[in-house]
Amino acid sequence: MILVLLGAPGAGKGTQAEALAAATGAAHVATGDLFRAEIAAGSELGRSAASYIDAGRLVPDEVTVGMISARLAQPDAASRVILDGFPRNTAQVAALDAAFAASGRAISAIFLKVDVGILTARLTGRRVCSSCGRSFHVESRPPAVAGVCDACGAALITRRDDAPETVAARLANQLSALDEVVENYRSSGRLQVVEGVGEIAAIQARLATAARAVGFGS
């Protein structure tokens, strides 16, 4: 089964998807992480995606769908998968449905709902580990030592697309597409909404309850 975790940039999808994957043993597949790995490896795909990502725009569907299809064909994605950051527009919803129509694998979505004003503060204050990728926040989730990852000790950095100018563009470019995706899953009876504001552990508990309701338990 496939669980799609929907949310705006800064809604906490990555943190929550990681925790849910650890609790349920599902594979966590994040398109943003796949793109960043391609960019770090200097691949052709990474080079073509970088200009879109740096501008806060969506990478074209043909590039994104090809990349995620290859990832979902890996053995660890054969059973349960949490999708984080995909699908991000109506065409990607259709591509995902088409890819799994034949196998009959169920697809359910959970929308992590957060107000726009909160998203901007979350994104500009976010810091990520340059080595293991763990996420922190200067105010709400600071590391024990400023600028240093609690998990592995490497330096924390600001993602290029979390720069204030890019954050505004990202939200402007991506929120209407997200609305479309949410509506799409709602109208096909495959959507649950989880409040994404509050203590991380409380959000995690609400998400786990919603996931269990669609048969995605530990």
Quick check: 64 binds ligand AMP (CB under 6 A)? yes
CA distance 80 to 215: 10
Of all residues in this chain, which one has the CB nearest to ligand AMP in the complex?
32
Task: Name the segment binding ligand AMP (CB under 6 A); options: 56-64, 104-112, 113-121, 196-204.
Answer: 56-64
Quick check: 7 binds ligand AMP (CB under 6 A)? no
Per the listing, tokens 């449905």 go with: 97
Count of Cβ atoms closer than 10 Å to residue 36 Cβ:
20
Quick check: 122 binds ligand AMP (CB under 6 A)? no
Q: Which of 13, 36, 71, 122 is catalytic?
A: 13
**Closer of 86 and 136 to ligand AMP (Cβ):** 86
Q: Active site includes 122?
A: no
Q: Active site includes 57?
A: no
**Closer of 27 and 161 to ligand AMP (Cβ):** 161
* Ramachandran quadrant class, 133 (left: phi over 0; alpha: psi -120 to 50; beta: rest): left
**Closer of 87 and 144 to ligand AMP (Cβ):** 87
SS3 of the chain: CEEEEECCCCCCHHHHHHHHHHHHCCEEEEHHHHHHHHHHHCCHHHHHHHHHHHCCCCCCHHHHHHHHHHHHCCHHHCCCEEEECCCCCHHHHHHHHHHHHCCCCCEEEEEEECCHHHHHHHHHCEEEECCCCCEEECCCECCCCCCECCCCCCEEECCHHHCHHHHHHHHHHHHHHHHHHHHHHHHCCCEEEEECCCCHHHHHHHHHHHHHHCCCCC
Least distance CB 152 / ligand AMP (angstroms): 20
Count residues near ligand AMP (CB under 6 A): 17
Quick check: 9 binds ligand AMP (CB under 6 A)? yes
Binding characters for ligand AMP, 67-96, by CB under 6 A (x = yes): ------------------xx-x---x----
Q: Which of 36, 71, 122, 170 is catalytic?
A: 170
Quick check: 31 binds ligand AMP (CB under 6 A)? yes
Quick check: 114 binds ligand AMP (CB under 6 A)? no
Interface residue with ligand AMP, options 23, 52, 91, 169 (CB under 6 A): 52
φ, ψ for residue 37, nearest 5 deg: -65, -40
Give me the residues that bind ligand AMP (CB under 6 A), please.
Answer: 9, 31-32, 35, 52-53, 56-59, 64, 85-86, 88, 92, 161, 170
Q: Would you please indicate which residues are annotated as catalytic (active-site) residues?
A: 13, 88, 126, 159, 170
